[in-house]
Amino acid sequence: MDPRYSVFASRFVGPSGTRLLMDDLGEALAAGEDLCNLGGGNPARIPALQALFRARLRATLDDGTFDRVSGVYDGPQGNREFLRAVRDLLRREYGWPVEVDHIAVTAGSQSSFFILFNLFTGHCVDGRRRYLDLPLTPEYIGYADIAIEADALRARRPLIEHLDARQFKYRVDFPAFDLAADSGAVCVSRPTNPTGNVLDADEMSRLVEITASADVPLIVDNAYGVPFPGIVFDAVEPVWAEHVVYCLSLSKLGLPGLRTGIVVARPDIIEAIRSFNAILTLATGSLGAVLATDLVASGEVLRVVTEVVRPYYRQRVADAVSWCARHFDGIDYHVHKPEGAIFLWLWFPDLPITAQELYARLKARGVLVIPGHFFFPGLAGDWPHRHQCIRVSYAQDPVQVEHGIRVIGEEVRRAWQG
């Protein structure tokens, strides 16, 4: 790195898990059919959804909406009609007492986290330094590199609960989870990327309680959750309280290219997001919001989630788990109970090579996965577990997914054979 770059820049231009992930995604895109990409976070291309968004796009072209919104900057809080549609949906579906000033649009959730993490952590105006606490790891790779001050994240190890059929589930270790006075915020993804874990109602209410009494925001990353995209396999209730910062995104509904995130939070936090948006991007992009407005306003998005998105991923995950059973025969493996999101989190205890080495061997065979150690942002100390796991996306073409799982089985066996 050029030593004349700023310290601020050095947080971004050095090696990072997020960069590796996105580079792999770009490489896989360029390689086309030659690479079996089970690494990235792209959602599935579900034909019924694609048809729906194409129809919406055509309607915006025909009725003049496209000309109207593409020719102007939206306000830094986002497209007003979309904000109203989201407010109405949250009031109708969950009874949340939210107004338009509780909601802001961003350039995708990743951008929401950049704003939120840097709002609540680092050296603060009162002279204190604050940190972001993650009650559970593994956690989303994208959190690792976005706080401007180094070492802003603090994470905990989970408890591991063993279930039937080689499945297990991570649980928040509440006795070990206390919030120090220098906690700036707490963050969880629900469902969790990479594991497919869904924190249960009891875990969520305890987190709401702990953060309320410590007077820190609880950021809930809902990139896969309800009301949309709804990639959660059992009934789940979202939580709301004045100090909850609820993050949504249109990406996993099928529009990752349109970079649309939504934050629902106290008006003073939304005000701060407006300011960040204005300075970073002037205004947020309107196209995602415009395509989704009618779907959200009419509630049609809930039908699409229930009838199209959720059944699609439910079938995909069932297939992927059965392929593991078939192709991992004789291997000591565990799979995290897939309760939501689009990934299988595979654990090979006592794997004689690291997950990083397994990743490299799989990549050499044209199969991309993500090695597990990237998903422990902020976790201090070494924990062998983090080198024994990989994340595998099951959102892509089923033939490819089965092929990838077969190759993973072959490479794990080969590692054991030395």
Ligand X SMILES: Cc1ncc(COP(=O)(O)O)c(C=O)c1O
Residues 6+ apart with CB under 8 A from 149: 121, 122, 123, 129
Q: Is 396 exposed, middle or buried (0-12, 13-18, 19+ CB in 10 A)?
A: buried
Among the candidate windows 52-60, 61-69, 107-115, 267-275, which touches ligand X by CB under 6 A?
107-115
Q: With respect to ligand X, which residue has the nearer C-beta, 109 or 211?
A: 109
Instruction: Say whether residue 109 binds ligand X (CB under 6 A).
Output: yes
CB of 41 to ligand X, least distance (A): 3
Q: CB 118: neighbour CB atoms within 10 A?
A: 16
Check residue 24 for interaction with ligand X (CB under 6 A): no
Give the range of 89-97, 102-110, 116-124, 396-404 binding ligand X by CB under 6 A.
102-110
- Label the pairing between strands 218-221 and 244-249: parallel
Q: Which of 41, 32, 5 is nearest to 254 (CA)?
A: 41
| Residue 140 sits in the site that holds ligand X (CB under 6 A) | yes
Distance CA 325, CA 5 (A): 50
In the numeric block, the tokens 């997020």 are attached to 18
Among residues 249, 284, 393, 396, which is the contact residue for ligand X, using CB under 6 A?
A: 249
How many chain residues touch ligand X (CB under 6 A)? Answer: 14
121 interacts with ligand X by CB under 6 A: no
Which is nearer to ligand X, 77 or 106 (by Cβ)? 106
Residue 221 touches ligand X, criterion: CB under 6 A: yes
* Shorter beta-carbon distance to ligand X: residue 243 or 252: 252
Q: Is residue 396 at the binding interface for ligand X, with CB under 6 A as the rule?
A: no
Max CA pair span of the chain:
64
SS3 content of the chain, % helix, strand, coil (to 5): 45, 15, 40
142 binds ligand X (CB under 6 A): yes
Query: How many residues can be counted in the chain?
Result: 418
Cβ proximity to ligand X: between 256 and 267 the closer is 256
Measured from the CB of residue 239, what is the shortest distance to ligand X in angstroms?
A: 17
**Which one, 142 or 409, has the nearer CB to ligand X?**
142
Among 39, 76, 78, 108, contact with ligand X (rule: CB under 6 A): 108
In the complex with ligand X, which residue's Cβ is closer, 47 or 257?
A: 257
For residue 348, give the nearest of 331, 368, 365 by alpha carbon: 331
Task: Please provide the DSSP assignment of 275-291 as one string.
Answer: HHHHHHHSS--SHHHHH
**Residue 394 three-state SS:** coil
Indicate the residue among 188 and 358 with the shorter CB distance to ligand X.
Answer: 188
CB of 357 to ligand X, least distance (A): 25
Q: Burial level of 156, CB count in 10 A (0-12/13-18/19+)?
A: buried
Q: Which chain residues interact with ligand X by CB under 6 A?
A: 41, 108-110, 140, 142, 189, 193, 221, 223, 249, 251, 256, 261
